[in-house]
């Protein structure tokens, strides 16, 4: 129960960064906790537990994106999670990024992981993560500049 209260919001946010649908993200986060109960892994530290949960949530999100049901369905609900107007414009720009960029942005800025930790979580080379973060920032900068110029 402590684990659920500690990590539920974080897992929903990371799943949402992939799935762009709050209800699918909640379901995927719940599936992550079910995996925790099924596997009952032994963790060395709280950070190890957090990393394991994030890795499972990311994998489950990717798997859910591959399902034909999700590809053919449209959400009946708004994609937005309540944000201030400023946060909404930034988050909308983030959600328009490809999944590989959304994920590194989320883990770096929202979860506070550094590049080497993100590389370990995503099983990517640090240089790859750094370049994806760089590209994501440039894409966000262009998108936000366009939105600002249109206003």
- 67 and 95 within one domain: no
- Among the listed residues 107, 12, 3, the one whose alpha carbon sits nearest the alpha carbon of residue 46: 3
Question: What confidence score (pLDDT) does residue 77 get?
Answer: 42
- 73 and 3 within one domain: yes
- 124 and 107 within one domain: yes
Look over the chain and give the mean of its residue pLDDT values, rounded to a whole number: 85
Other CB atoms within 10 A of residue 8 CB = 16
- 99 and 57 within one domain: no
- 89 and 145 within one domain: yes
- 91 and 65 within one domain: no
Q: Residue 100 is part of a domain; what is its CATH number? A: 1.10.10.10
Helices marked H in the chain — which ranges?
2-19, 22-39, 46-66, 68-72, 85-95, 99-105, 115-122, 126-150
The percentage of the chain sitting over the pLDDT mark of 70, rounded to a whole number, equals: 83
- 29 and 103 within one domain: no
- Among the listed residues 89, 133, 88, the one whose alpha carbon sits nearest the alpha carbon of residue 107: 133
- The number of folded domains in the chain is 2
Task: With beta carbons less than 8 A apart as the criterion, state whether 99 and 150 touch.
Answer: no
- 33 and 13 within one domain: yes
Per-residue pLDDT of the chain (151 residues; tens, 9 = 90+): 789 999 999 999 999 888 888 899 999 999 999 999 999 999 999 999 999 999 999 999 999 988 866 555 554 444 445 556 666 777 788 888 888 898 899 889 888 899 999 999 888 999 999 999 999 999 999 888 877 666 5
Quote the CA–CA distance of 141 and 144 in Å, as a whole number: 5
Question: What confidence score (pLDDT) does residue 74 get?
Answer: 52
- Among the listed residues 110, 73, 78, the one whose alpha carbon sits nearest the alpha carbon of residue 94: 110
Quote the CA–CA distance of 141 and 135 in Å, as a whole number: 10
Q: Identify the domain containing residue 98 by its residue range.
A: 82-151
End-to-end Cα, the chain, rounded Å: 46
Question: What confidence score (pLDDT) does residue 122 get?
Answer: 87
Quote the CA–CA distance of 149 and 151 in Å, as a whole number: 6
Q: Final residue of a domain: which of 49, 79, 109?
A: 79
Q: Final residue of a domain: which of 55, 79, 103?
A: 79
- 111 and 127 within one domain: yes
Question: What confidence score (pLDDT) does residue 82 get?
Answer: 52
- Residue range 33-56, pLDDT digits in tens: 999 999 999 999 999 999 999 999
DSSP-derived secondary structure letter, 81: P
Q: Final residue of a domain: which of 79, 108, 143?
A: 79
- Residue range 52-70, pLDDT digits in tens: 999 999 999 999 988 866 5
- 121 and 96 within one domain: yes
Question: What confidence score (pLDDT) does residue 151 get?
Answer: 56
């Amino acid at each position: 129960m402590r684990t659920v209260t500690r990590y539920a919001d974080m897992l929903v946010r990371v799943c949402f960064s992939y799935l762009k649908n709050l209800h699918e993200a909640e379901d995927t986060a719940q599936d992550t906790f079910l995996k925790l109960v099924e596997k009952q892994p032994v963790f060395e530290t709280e950070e190890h537990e957090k990393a394991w949960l994030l890795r499972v949530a990311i994998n489950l999100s990717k798997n859910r994106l591959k399902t034909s049901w999700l590809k053919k369905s449209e959400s009946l609900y708004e994609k937005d999670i309540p944000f201030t107007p400023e946060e909404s414009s930034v988050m909308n720009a983030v959600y328009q990024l490809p999944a590989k960029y959304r994920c590194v942005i989320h883990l770096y800025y929202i979860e506070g992981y550094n590049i080497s930790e993100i590389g370990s979580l995503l099983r990517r080379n640090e240089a790859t993560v750094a370049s994806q973060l760089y590209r994501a920032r440039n894409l966000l900068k262009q998108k936000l500049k366009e939105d600002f110029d249109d206003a």
